[in-house]
């Protein structure tokens, strides 16, 4: 089979397309014919060597959507020909930028027939991250105010829809070209993140009970300043390795809760995927695919995922 791999750490130019042996599923695994694989910033961290994958050469890619081509001896609930999608691959096992991948059944779920494969791949990691942040950690409830930083991003655009599906009142930030799209996805208020009075504008929309922050190094103090009394802030990412409060007493006065999380710590990925699939199947969460690439253009996709601005997700279609 064909697979995109890197044989050494480095920039996108280290990625090559190789002929490799098709994986054989273990007893608890599925062999999946990959129809789509999403591209995430974390893929670039593994490629660069910031995070350590398994032994090189390595196949990148955490998300998959495709068709079951084989089942392990101990597998129940899945059969050849089933449409599935999954995530949390590509770090402790070879990833999804390939024609086939072996996936443990605790990291996949059935993909509704009304959801396209590229949409399933786009939903997987971003959806589980948003669910873990807003449902598990923030405990978001109907009629609460929720602030989602960067609503046009992969996680952000799913988080906006998930918060709306919960019944929360959603405020998000993004560049002006994405405002109408985010309003259509369920945001009640969309604000330009570059405006000078952003904190006042967020408060005017309703002091958020829950905040989803993907840039803690830039917005941690901002979150403390705008969050409601007793509010919950969940941090899912940062660009600089350091982040801190500029005014600790002000943060303490809010008695806010700060949770730092990684999607890869989700205790039951399959259960979350199953519920997200229901929402996607009913049209309550619609993953947006900004662009698609072939296996021989994964380098371009990995450049774009960290350097370009777009709404939704980038996917690879082998």
Which pLDDT tens digit goes with each residue over 101-127? 999 999 999 999 999 999 999 999 999
How large is the average pLDDT for residues 178-188? Answer: 98
Residue spans in the chain of domains classed CATH 3.40.50.720? 127-263
The percentage of residues in the chain with a pLDDT greater than 90, rounded to a whole number, is 94
Residue spans in the chain of domains classed CATH 3.90.180.10? 2-123+267-316
Cα–Cα distance, 159 to 165 (Å, whole number): 10
Helix 269-281 with 154-166: angle, nearest 10 deg = 70
Whether 206 has a pLDDT exceeding 90, the answer reads yes
Backbone angles phi, psi at 244, to 5 degrees: -165, 170
Residue range 127-263 forms a domain whose CATH class is alpha beta
Contact 311, 288 (CB under 8 A): yes
pLDDT tens digit sequence for 40-94 = 999 999 999 988 878 899 999 999 999 999 999 999 999 999 999 999 998 889 9
Report, at the CATH architecture level, how domain 2-123+267-316 is classified: Alpha-Beta Complex (3.90)
Quick one: pLDDT band at residue 156, thresholds 50, 70, 90?
A: very high
pTM, entire model: 0.96
């Amino acid at each position: 089979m064909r697979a995109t791999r890197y044989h050494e750490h480095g920039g996108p130019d280290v990625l090559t397309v190789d002929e490799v042996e098709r994986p054989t599923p273990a007893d608890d695994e599925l062999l999946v014919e990959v129809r789509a694989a999403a591209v995430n910033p974390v893929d670039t961290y593994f490629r660069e060597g910031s995070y350590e994958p398994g032994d090189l050469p390595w196949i990148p890619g955490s998300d998959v959507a495709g068709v079951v081509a084989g089942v392990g001896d101990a597998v129940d609930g899945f059969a050849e020909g089933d449409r599935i999608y999954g995530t949390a691959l590509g770090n402790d096992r070879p990833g999804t930028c390939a024609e086939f991948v072996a996936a443990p059944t605790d990291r996949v779920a059935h993909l509704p027939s009304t959801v396209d494969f590229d949409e399933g791949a786009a939903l997987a990691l971003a959806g589980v991250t948003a669910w873990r942040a807003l449902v598990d950690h923030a405990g978001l409830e109907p009629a609460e105010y929720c602030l989602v930083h960067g609503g046009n991003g992969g996680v952000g655009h799913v988080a906006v829809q998930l918060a709306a599906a919960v019944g929360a009142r959603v405020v998000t930030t993004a560049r002006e070209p994405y405002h109408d799209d985010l309003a259509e996805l369920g945001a009640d208020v969309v604000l330009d993140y570059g405006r000078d009075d952003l904190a006042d504008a967020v408060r005017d929309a309703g002091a958020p009970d829950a905040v989803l922050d993907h840039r803690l190094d830039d917005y941690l103090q901002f979150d403390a300043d705008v969050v409601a009394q007793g509010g919950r802030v969940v941090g899912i990412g940062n660009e600089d390795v350091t982040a801190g409060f500029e005014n600790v007493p002000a943060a303490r006065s809010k008695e806010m809760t700060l949770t730092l999380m990684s999607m890869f710590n989700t205790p039951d990925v399959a259960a979350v995927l199953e519920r997200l699939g229901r929402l996607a199947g009913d049209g309550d969460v619609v993953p947006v695919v900004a662009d698609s690439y072939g296996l021989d253009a994964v380098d371009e996709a990995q450049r774009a995922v960290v350097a370009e601005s777009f709404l939704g997700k980038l996917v690879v279609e082998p």
